[in-house]
Amino acid sequence: QWFANEFPTVDVLGPQKTTFELVGSANCVISALGVTLQEAEYHGKPSLVIFNYPEDATDFDVLLDASEHPATWINGGFYNDLNAPKLAAAIGDLVNLLPAPTNQLRWGQGWRALFDKIM
């Protein structure tokens, strides 16, 4: 509700059974680390990643290294450090990014590299 109140021109959706179609039809994505980022990578969508924990910054760096589209990711930082002006600035940067072409043939190769680094 906070996002809907702070950003009245943005459509904020509630819980969804699947996000694949939503990510595919979106201009950009705001998410924490998780499966949605695989969908954003698949679709080449510009994405703002907001961390649940400060330590997630390390995972974000690994994501950049493994991504086929590293220029489509924005580090939003730890959610507890965000305020409305910081978030508005990050969203401003996000909407100015261009999507990457969907590359279904190479999708997943970056994720294998990510898992190799983690394991």
Looking at residue 16, its pLDDT comes to 80
Is residue 14 pLDDT above 80, yes or no?
A: no
Q: Could you tell me whether strands 29-31 and 73-78 are parallel, antiparallel, or unpaired per DSSP bridges?
A: unpaired
Question: Is the distance from CB of 86 to CB of 38 less than 8 angstroms?
Answer: no
Is residue 103 pLDDT above 70, yes or no?
A: no
Q: Residue 73 corresponds to which tokens in the numbers above?
A: 């990711």
The pTM for the full model equals 0.76
Percent pLDDT > 90 in the chain is 46
**Across the chain, what does the average pLDDT equal?**
86
DSSP structural state of residue 24: H
